[in-house]
Structure 1
Amino acid sequence: MSRITVCPVGTLAEGEAVKIDGPSEAIAVFNVQGVFYATTDRCSHGNASMSEGYVEDDGTVECPLHAARFCLKTGTALCQPATEPLATYPVTVEDGTIYVEVAEAEA
């Protein structure tokens, strides 16, 4: 596993998301009432950026393109048109900085 630095905690406002580069794909990092979650940035249904989606206080995000909703904790698709889950990544906060843990990129 490797660790990607996202940003200082104070720069990702509640209810917001940021897109970062992962080793193989973009990752969306979300702040839901001070709890941070990370998923793949691309919707499993279509070519939409989840970091541009609508973050809900119940820990879900709605795709900005087709209104599919996903659980940020598990990545589970909660409604149509999406049926496949989003990949999720562990998030840690240390010394006021948000980090995402990802698998090492294969050579």
Structure 2
Amino acid sequence: MSDAPATNPTPVVVCNEDDLEVGEARRYDVADLRLAVVRGNDCWFVIDDECSHADYSLAEGEVDLDDCTIECWKHGSLFSLTTGKPETLPATRPVGVYPVTVEAGEVMVTIPARTPQAGDAQ
């Protein structure tokens, strides 16, 4: 365990509100993360874009806003947009879920704090 202080969570603009239609998902690369940004009816979701079963983009899958899920296009696993948990096989591990806010038309995701590791640039 490191005694180094954790860096603060950072809100990052990923897109504008009008960049996505309701029910659309799109991949964005932010701070070394591949994220799937999904526009709901009156809300937004941001999850890891990589299926936990295999390395396929979730943003390319089908969004179901009624069930609040996204389907991996390759093998059919459904993931909850709110918890990241897989709801069907073959995936068994959840994907990350990130806090998202909208301010002045900008969609922002909060990247979690992380503890600097040995070898990180100062």
**TM tier, smaller:** over 0.9
1:33 corresponds in structure 2 to: 41
Q: How many residues align?
A: 107
User: Contact (CA 8 Å) 2:14, 2:30: kept in 1 or not?
Assistant: no
**What RMSD over aligned residues (CA atoms) do the two structures have, in Å?**
1.3
1:77 corresponds in structure 2 to: 86
2:101 corresponds in structure 1 to: 92
2:74 corresponds in structure 1 to: 65
1:15-57 Cα shifts (integer Å, max 9, x gaps): 1112111223211110122310001110000010011111012
CA distance in 2, matches of 1:76, 1:104: 21
2:22 corresponds in structure 1 to: 14
TM-score, normalised relative to structure 2: 0.82
| Deviation at residue 104 of structure 1 after TM alignment | 4.6
Please state whether the residue corresponding to 1:48 is helix, strand or coil. Answer: coil
Please state whether the residue corresponding to 1:10 is helix, strand or coil. Answer: helix
| Residue 53 of structure 1 pairs with residue 61 of structure 2 | yes
Which of the two has higher C-alpha Rg? 2
User: Contact (CA 8 Å) 1:17, 1:29: kept in 2 or not?
Assistant: yes
CA distance in 2, matches of 1:65, 1:4: 29
More strand by share: 1
2:31 corresponds in structure 1 to: 23
TM-score, normalised relative to structure 1: 0.93
Q: Which moved more, 1:16-25 or 1:36-45?
A: 16-25
Q: Which runs of 5+ in 1 are unaligned?
A: none
